[in-house]
Structure 1
Amino acid sequence: MTRNRLRIVMDTPWERSSQSPFRFLEFAAMTPPIAPAGWSRWLVPPAALAVHLSIGQAYSWSVFKPPLESALGLSGTQSALPFQLGIVMLGLSAAFGGTLVERRGPRWAMTVALVCFSSGFLLSALGAETRQFWLIVFGYGFVGGIGLGIGYISPVSTLIKWFPDRPGTATGIAIMGFGGGALIASPWSQAMLDHFGSDSGGIALAFLVHGLVYALFMSLGVFLIRLPRPRPGARTLPGAESGAVLLIGSVQVSARSALRTPQFWCLWIVLCMNVTAGIGILERAAPMITDFFANTSAAVSASAAAGFVALLSAANMAGRIGWSSLSDVIGRKNIYRVYLLVGIAMYVVIFLAGDTAKPLFVICAMVILSFYGGGFATLPAYLKDLFGTYQVGAIHGRLLTAWSVAGVLGPLIVNRVADAQTDAGKSGSQLYGVSFVIMICLLAVGLIANEFVRPVHPRHHLDTRKGEPDGHAAAEPGV
Structure 2
Amino acid sequence: MAGLGFLDREQTVAPNGYNRWLVPPAALCIHLCIGEAYAFSVFNLPLTRLIGITKHAPGDWNLVDVGWIFSVAIVFLGLSAAFTGTWLDRVGPRKAMTAAALCFGGGFLVAAFGVSIHSLLVVFLGYGVLGGIGLGIGYISPVRTLITWFPDRPGMATGLAIMGFGGGAMIAAPLSFLLMHHFTTATSLGVAPSFVALGIIYAIFMLIGALIVRVPPAGWAPAGYVAPTTQKKLISEYDVTADRAMATPQFYFLWFVLFLNVTAGIGVIGQASPMIQEMFHGRVTAATAAGFVGFLSLFNMGGRFFWASLSDWLGRKPTYFVFFLLGIALYVLVPHTALLGSVALTALCFGVILSMYGGGFSTIPAYLRDIFGVRHVGAIHGRILTAWSAAGVMGPVLVDYIRQYQIHHGVAKADAYTITLYIMAALLLVGAICNAMISPVGAQHHEAIARAAE
**What TM-score, normalized to structure 1?**
0.84
- Supply the AA of the counterpart residue of 1:107: R
Q: Is there any run of 5+ residues in structure 2 with no aligned partner, and where?
A: 52-59, 222-226, 230-235
Displacement of 1:303 in angstroms is 4.2
- Supply the AA of the counterpart residue of 1:92: L
Is the partner of 2:322 in helix, strand or coil? helix
Find the partner of 1:113 among 94, 100, 110.
100
Q: 2:206 matched to 1:218?
A: yes
CA contact (8 A) 2:39 2:169 kept: yes
Which residue is equivalent to 1:258?
A: 245
Displacement of 1:304 in angstroms is 3.9
Alpha-carbon distance between aligned partners in 1 of 2:453 and 2:440, rounded to the nearest angstrom: 14
Displacement of 1:473 in angstroms is 7.0
Which residue is equivalent to 1:11?
A: none
Which residue is equivalent to 1:334?
A: 318
Find the partner of 2:163 among 176, 186, 193.
176
Find the partner of 1:314 among 298, 305, 310.
298
Displacement of 1:357 in angstroms is 5.4
Which residue is equivalent to 1:442?
A: 427
Displacement of 1:413 in angstroms is 1.2
CA contact (8 A) 2:273 2:289 kept: yes
Displacement of 1:66 in angstroms is 3.2
Alpha-carbon distance between aligned partners in 1 of 2:337 and 2:117, rounded to the nearest angstrom: 49
Alpha-carbon distance between aligned partners in 1 of 2:337 and 2:192, rounded to the nearest angstrom: 44
- Supply the AA of the counterpart residue of 1:457: G
Which residue is equivalent to 2:81?
A: 94
Displacement of 1:208 in angstroms is 2.1
Which residue is equivalent to 1:17?
A: none
Is the partner of 2:48 in helix, strand or coil? helix
Between stretches 167-176 and 150-159, larger displacement belongs to: 167-176
Q: Is there any run of 5+ residues in structure 1 with no aligned partner, and where?
A: 1-21, 234-244, 475-479
The structure-2 alpha-carbon separation of the partners of 1:195 and 1:433, relative to structure 1 and needing over 3 Å to count, comes to closer
CA contact (8 A) 1:129 1:200 kept: no
Which residue is equivalent to 2:308?
A: 324
Which residue is equivalent to 2:271?
A: 284
Which residue is equivalent to 1:227?
A: 215
The structure-2 alpha-carbon separation of the partners of 1:134 and 1:431, relative to structure 1 and needing over 3 Å to count, comes to closer
Alpha-carbon distance between aligned partners in 2 of 1:115 and 1:148, rounded to the nearest angstrom: 11
Alpha-carbon distance between aligned partners in 1 of 2:120 and 2:333, rounded to the nearest angstrom: 41
Displacement of 1:336 in angstroms is 0.4
The structure-2 alpha-carbon separation of the partners of 1:164 and 1:429, relative to structure 1 and needing over 3 Å to count, comes to same
Deviations 1:241-276 (A, max 9, x none): xxxx999x9400000000011111011111111111
**Rg larger for:** 1
Find the partner of 1:77 among 39, 64, 78.
64
Is the partner of 1:90 in helix, strand or coil? helix
CA contact (8 A) 1:293 1:429 kept: yes
Which residue is equivalent to 1:196?
A: 183
Displacement of 1:323 in angstroms is 0.9
Which residue is equivalent to 1:239?
A: none
Find the partner of 1:393 among 378, 391, 401.
378
Which residue is equivalent to 1:145?
A: 132
Name the count of aligned residue pairs: 433
- Supply the AA of the counterpart residue of 1:311: F
Which residue is equivalent to 2:112?
A: 125
Which residue is equivalent to 2:54?
A: none
Deviations 1:76-102 (A, max 9, x none): 123233222111100111111111111
Between stretches 320-329 and 344-353, larger displacement belongs to: 344-353
- Supply the AA of the counterpart residue of 1:279: I
- Supply the AA of the counterpart residue of 2:384: L
Give the share of equivalent positions with the same residue, in percent: 49
Displacement of 1:202 in angstroms is 4.0
- Supply the AA of the counterpart residue of 1:327: S
Q: 2:43 matched to 1:64?
A: yes
CA contact (8 A) 1:52 1:175 kept: yes
Alpha-carbon distance between aligned partners in 2 of 1:351 and 1:70, rounded to the nearest angstrom: 29
Displacement of 1:409 in angstroms is 0.8
Q: 2:186 matched to 1:207?
A: no
Alpha-carbon distance between aligned partners in 2 of 1:352 and 1:362, rounded to the nearest angstrom: 13
Which residue is equivalent to 1:12?
A: none
Displacement of 1:311 in angstroms is 1.8
Is the partner of 1:318 in helix, strand or coil? helix
CA contact (8 A) 2:267 2:396 kept: yes
CA contact (8 A) 2:265 2:357 kept: yes
| Bigger helix fraction | 2
CA contact (8 A) 1:293 1:355 kept: no
Alpha-carbon distance between aligned partners in 1 of 2:113 and 2:279, rounded to the nearest angstrom: 39
What is the CA RMSD across the aligned residues, in angstroms?
A: 2.7
Deviations 1:280-308 (A, max 9, x none): 222232333344345xxx95444444433
Is the partner of 1:251 in helix, strand or coil? coil
Which residue is equivalent to 1:477?
A: none
Which residue is equivalent to 2:359?
A: 374
Alpha-carbon distance between aligned partners in 2 of 1:429 and 1:253, rounded to the nearest angstrom: 49
Is the partner of 2:152 in helix, strand or coil? coil
